[in-house]
Structure 1
Amino acid sequence: MAPPYRGLILDFGGVLTTRMRLNGEAFERSEGLKPGEYFAALNENPDGVAIYAALEVGEATQEDWNRVVGGILGIDPTNLMQRALANLRPEPQIIAAAKRARAAGVKVAMLSNSFGIEPYNPYVDKGMWTDFFDAVILSELEGVRKPSPLIYQRVLDALELTGPECVFVDDHAENLPPAETLGIRTVHHTVDPAGTAALLDALLLDRAPA
């Protein structure tokens, strides 16, 4: 019997790419920041948290983010998002699994809380834009971000599939339950791209993991 899943939904940062934490640590080193300083600016500083949330839903520009985060860190804000993501790389094993699925007739979508697309478009820069996917759903363009259930419904609508027909992969556990409420099969990607790729093969191509 053929596998039941007809759609694959993939997060960008940390799934389709290498780990966000490793990228952030490399950025700290390149900018001469203290270990953990960049993460604190994004996740603990109230202004940093607020500007990232606003950027993700299109209420702030990438240049606003550059200015605010650069000010918090005391570094040059010019092209800051591009510098901050400079060490992020496509994750070859996940991309290969997505290509295998698509070749087998599975629709593939990217669902990302946006980093902004102007003046720097990280999705184009990392080689992951519309040509690779059947649908691209960015929170900035949708005006809503994960984990809101609405954005998961938007990607289902774009794929013209139902929740039980789809698999969703994200590296943040808190983004999974809202997808599950729509019947989507979820996969929590952690630090093992080979394991996640094997699981996707098993789910989408009916290949038993080695």
Structure 2
Amino acid sequence: MYPEGGGSVAHRNDSRPLYQGLILDFVGVLTAGVLEAHRTWCVGQGLAPNAWRATLEDHPEGRSLYAALESGQLTQAEWNRRTAPLLGVDEHHNLMGRAWSAVRPADSMVALARAARAAGMRVALLSNSFGLEPYDPYGTLGVWELFDVTVISEREGIAKPDPAIYQRTLERMGLPGEVCVFVDDNPVNLPPAADLGITTVHADGQADTVKRLSNLLGVLPAAA
């Protein structure tokens, strides 16, 4: 019998949980349709479909501005103002929120997070931030409530893959790395977690990611 609204967690032979903590990234783990949403928005603005990605990842100034946003050195409002002309759009107000407007929560991963917490696991969010005002992505997609612990790079002044942010997450969870699982879509962010003894799972976009994670944790979301 599973706990109400949750699931069951795997145990060792001595009845101690095999895993006691689940650490989740946000983008690419708890979100769905990000690339499609950005491409659709870009086309609607008269831009090339890949303009958002190219500006944030390939343009030297765009890449620098986004790194400053992640570490809290730049507010989202200031990032909006300075990035809009790099993209080639006139209106900078709530640029981030407009580009993210069609992104959806990843329902199956959300359900698994709820089940893990209901089964007694500590659940944490470890996210490289892209600002909280005027657009709060976590609140908009309704994921704040999923977590016992939230570690957001903007608030910490450091971002993944800096090893210190993983250590802070474990400290706030009150757990050693050996009993935790970390899920991230960016493979660069996984080795620092593994170095702390955390079991890592690459959210590689495949349809079976949640099933693989569910099997690893021994947690089954309640039937709909």
Question: What TM-score does the superposition give when structure 1 sets the normalisation length?
Answer: 0.93
Tell whether 2:126 aligns with 1:111.
Answer: yes
Aligned to 1:199: 212
Q: Which of 31, 51, 54 pairs up with 1:37? A: 51
SS of residue in 1 equivalent to 2:28: helix
Report if the CA contact (8 A) 2:113-2:146 is conserved.
Answer: no
1:55-103 deviation digits (Å, cap 9, x = unpaired) = 1111001011101210101211111010111121100111111111111
Aligned to 1:126: 141
Determine the C-alpha separation between the residues in 2 that align with 1:14 and 1:48: 21
Cα shift at 1:19:
4.4
Matches within 5 A, 1:84-163: 84-129=99-144, 131-163=145-177
Report if the CA contact (8 A) 2:112-2:219 is conserved.
Answer: no
- The amino acid of 2:129's aligned partner reads S
SS of residue in 2 equivalent to 1:13: coil
Aligned to 2:31: 17
Aligned to 2:92: 77
- The amino acid of 1:58's aligned partner reads G
SS of residue in 1 equivalent to 2:29: helix
- The amino acid of 1:165's aligned partner reads V
SS of residue in 1 equivalent to 2:67: helix
- The amino acid of 1:40's aligned partner reads A
SS of residue in 2 equivalent to 1:69: helix
SS of residue in 2 equivalent to 1:59: coil
The count of residues paired between Structure 1 and Structure 2 equals: 205
Q: Percent identity?
A: 48
Aligned to 1:28: 42
Cα shift at 1:29:
2.2
Q: Flag the structure with larger Rg.
A: 2
Matches within 5 A, 1:157-176: 157-176=171-190
Aligned to 1:47: 61
Determine the C-alpha separation between the residues in 1 that align with 2:139 and 2:123: 17
1:109-157 deviation digits (Å, cap 9, x = unpaired) = 111100101122111111011x321011100000000011111111111
